[in-house]
Amino acid sequence: MAEYDYDLLVIGSGPAGQRAAIQAAKLHKHVAIVERRTVIGGVCINTGTIPSKTLREAVMHLSGYRERGIYGASYAVKQNITMDDLLFRADHVMRHEIDVTRHQLMRNRVEVLSAEASFIEPHTIRINYLDGRGQRLVTAANIVIATGTIATKDDRVPLDGQHIFLSDDIVHLGSLPRTLAVVGAGVIGIEYASMFAALGVRVTIIDKRNRLLPFVDGEIIEALEYHLRQNRVTIRLGEEVSGLEPIQDEKGERVRICLTSGKQIITEQALYSIGRTGATATLNLPDAGVSADPRGYLKVNEYYQTETPHIYAVGDVIGFPSLASTSMEQGRLAACHAFGIEAKSVPELFPYGIYAVPEISMVGRTEEDLTQQGIPYEVGKANYREIARGQIIGDSTGLLKLIFHLETHEMLGVHILGEDASELIHIGQAVMAFGGTVDYFINTVFNYPTLAECYKTAAFDGINRLG
C-alpha cells in the first residue's frame, strides 16, 4: 500500500469539512484540514449562517418585533437601531464559534493548515501557505472537498459593497438604509429582506420566478407573503432585472434598478442575491480527474464520491439543500465510507430551516408533491393564536400543518411558520423517523402551555376532517 502524508485531507473548514475531519480523527486516522481564510469555520461562521442568524436575533430583540402583538406596533427595545448595534452581537457569537471549532479540532488532533490548496494529481495537493512560508506538496489517501460556495457575481453589476452589495458584504455595511431592494428571492434573499423589513426598512423583493421558494409548501409561502406585505414589503415576481446603476440626485447616492418590463425602482441600497457559485475555481480539478458544472458545483454519488473514487465532495459545493445541518451529515458519511465504516442516514427526513421573519421549517413531503404522485392524504392545522403559549409570547401569526396518509394515517410531512419553527419541527421529524401516525399526537400529552401543543390541536383538526 502506498504511503501518504495523511489518511484524509479535507479542503475547507466549514461544517461539512469539520465533521468529516473529526469523524476520521475519531477513527484514529491522520487528518488535516486546509483552510484558505485566516480564520476557520468557512462561510458558515464568518459570513453566512452564524452571522445572519445572529443578526436576525439582534433584529428581533432590538426592534421589539416579538412583543408588538402585545405592546403595539410602536414598541421597540431601542430607538434608532444602527448596524453597529446589530453587528455587536454577531461579532461576539462569531468569535465564540471560531474558538469552539478550533478547540474541537485541536483536541481531536486534526492538523489545520492555513493555506490555499490545488491539485497536482489525484493524491497530491500543492499547499500555498498564507503566512508567506512558501509552498509544499502533500499527499493523502483520501480527500474531501468541502470548499462551500461564494455569492454569485455578474460583471455587469457595479458592486461597491455599500450601495450595491452581496449577502457576504452585509456584515461590513456602514448604516441601515431607509429603502432596500433585494434582487433574488432565494432563501438568503428572503431572510435578509424580512429582517430589514422588521426594522422598518421599506423593502422591495424582485425575482424572475413566479413564486417564492418553490420547494416549500404552497400554503406556508402564501402565509409568508401575507406577513411580508403586512411589514410593507413589495414583492415583484415574474420580473427580470435588466440593469442596476448608482445614481446621484438631490437625495444623495442611490441605486436605480431597471426591469425588462419597463419598471424602474429607486432605492438607497440594493442586495444582489441571485444565488451561490461553488468555490472550486482555484482547485485545479482537472488534474484530479474531477469536473465541476458551469456554476462550480461538483457531482457525487450516494456515498459523496466524485468521478475519482477516493476524492469526496460534501456540503454546499455539491448543491441543494446547502444547509449547515445536512452538510455536517454529509461530511460524517463521506469520512465513514472512505474508511469502510458502515453508516447511514435518512436524507428524506432532513429538516429545512429558513430563518426569515416569520421563521419557516419543514420536514417530509409537501401537498404539491403528494398531489403530483397521486398519494391520498389529509391535513390538520393549528394556529398559534389558538394556543395559550402563542398568546403568551405574542405570536398570533404562527401556523403548524400536519400532512398524513388518508388511509394509514402515517405522517408524511410537517410544515411550520412562526416562532421557534426550526426547534418545533424536530418533534414531527422524530415521529416520522419511527414510522408514526397522526394518532400519536392525539394520544400523547404535551406540557401546558407550550407551542408543542400545536401538534395535538393539528392532529385533532386532521382527524375531524375525516368525518
Question: Which tens digit of pLDDT belongs to each residue from 169-199?
Answer: 888 888 899 999 999 999 999 999 999 999 9
Q: What is the pLDDT of residue 1?
A: 42
Q: What is the pLDDT of residue 2?
A: 59
The beta-carbon contacts of 23-29 under 8 Å, at least 24 apart in sequence, are: 23/331, 23/332, 23/335, 23/336, 24/335, 24/338, 24/339, 25/108, 25/109, 25/110, 26/108, 27/335, 27/339, 27/341, 29/339
CATH code of 6-151+277-348, in short, is 3.50.50.60
Q: What is the pLDDT of residue 42?
A: 65
Q: What is the pLDDT of residue 86?
A: 86
Q: What distance in Å separates the CA atoms of residue 207 and residue 185, rounded to the nearest whole number?
A: 6
What H or E segment, with its residue span, contains residue 255?
A: strand 252-259
The x, y and z cell numbers of residue 39, run together, are 480564520
Q: What is the pLDDT of residue 321?
A: 87
Pick the CATH number of 164-274 from 3.40.50.920, 3.50.50.60, 2.40.240.20, 3.60.15.10: 3.50.50.60
The x, y and z cell numbers of residue 249, run together, are 440626485
Predicted TM-score (pTM) of this structure:
0.90
Q: What is the pLDDT of residue 298?
A: 98
The x, y and z cell numbers of residue 90, run together, are 454577531
Pick the CATH number of 358-465 from 3.30.70.2470, 3.30.390.30, 3.20.20.100, 3.10.450.50: 3.30.390.30
Assess whether the region 6-151+277-348 and the region 358-465 belong to the same CATH fold: no
Segments of the chain with pLDDT less than 50: 1
Domain boundaries, the chain: 6-151+277-348, 164-274, 358-465
The x, y and z cell numbers of residue 148, run together, are 462551500
